[in-house]
């Protein structure tokens, strides 16, 4: 009986400590598994591979839609890219994103601002909210476009890539 009580007590203290001590946006998660879970898009591997993997399996484009995943390109600041789900379309050049591992390592952010700053209004250059500075990041980030979850093409099994599922790890550097 005492062992069960100790386990219950320890679990209760841990749960309460987590609720009190950890910001609402903080969870240990990477952008790829979070985007996959949030959007339902069944792609795997590093974020910079999602755009290519989606070809022939999911519709892709340059128009933001709720539930779509914005696929960021590789860059010096983000060598393995980043993926984020569109939670709201504000207008043709601004959306709200829900994503993981951007402002804080492993943190989840919901409904943060992202603005298309590309000269052709095609979402190939994007500035994203960066919490440590309380505004849009100081640097824009290259992107490929949107992968649409609501219109998947028929696939028999999920596409799998042998690389690690740790996309977005360089997100802290990417927002400057």
CA torsion, points 78, 81, 87, 93, in degrees to nearest 10? 70
pTM of the model: 0.72
Q: What is the pLDDT of residue 23?
A: 41
Q: What is the pLDDT of residue 28?
A: 57
Q: What is the pLDDT of residue 176?
A: 33
The residue extents of the domains of the chain are 24-174
Tokens linked to 79:
């060598």
Closest CA to 100 of 50, 166, 22: 166
Q: What is the pLDDT of residue 5?
A: 52
Query: What percentage of residues in the chain have a pLDDT greater than 90?
Result: 68
Q: Which band of pLDDT confidence, cut at 50, 70 and 90, is reported for residue 34?
A: very high
DSSP 8-state code for residue 139: S
Taking 90 as the threshold, does the pLDDT of residue 124 lie above it? yes
Taking 60 as the threshold, does the pLDDT of residue 106 lie above it? yes
Query: How far is the CA of 117 from the CAs of 84, 93, 151, in angstroms?
Result: 17, 8, 27
CATH class of 24-174: alpha beta
Q: Which band of pLDDT confidence, cut at 50, 70 and 90, is reported for residue 24?
A: very low
Taking 50 as the threshold, does the pLDDT of residue 138 lie above it? yes
Q: What is the pLDDT of residue 18?
A: 36
Q: Which band of pLDDT confidence, cut at 50, 70 and 90, is reported for residue 29?
A: confident
């Amino acid at each position: 009986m005492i062992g069960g009580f100790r386990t219950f007590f320890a679990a209760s203290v841990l749960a309460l400590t987590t609720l009190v001590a950890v910001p609402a946006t903080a969870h240990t998660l990477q952008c790829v598994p979070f985007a996959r879970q949030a959007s339902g898009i069944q792609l795997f591997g590093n974020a910079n591979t999602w755009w290519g993997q989606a070809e022939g399996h999911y519709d892709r484009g340059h128009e933001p839609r709720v539930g779509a995943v914005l696929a960021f390109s590789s860059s010096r600041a983000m060598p393995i890219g980043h993926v984020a789900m569109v939670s709201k379309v504000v207008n043709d050049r601004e959306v709200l994103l829900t994503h993981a591992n951007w402002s804080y390592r492993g943190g989840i952010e919901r409904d943060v601002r992202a603005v298309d700053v590309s000269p052709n209004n095609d979402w190939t250059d994007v500035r994203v909210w960066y919490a440590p500075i309380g505004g849009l990041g100081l640097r824009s980030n290259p992107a490929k476009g949107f992968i649409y979850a609501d219109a998947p093409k028929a696939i028999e099994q999920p596409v799998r890539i042998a690389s690690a599922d740790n996309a977005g790890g360089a997100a802290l550097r990417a927002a400057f």
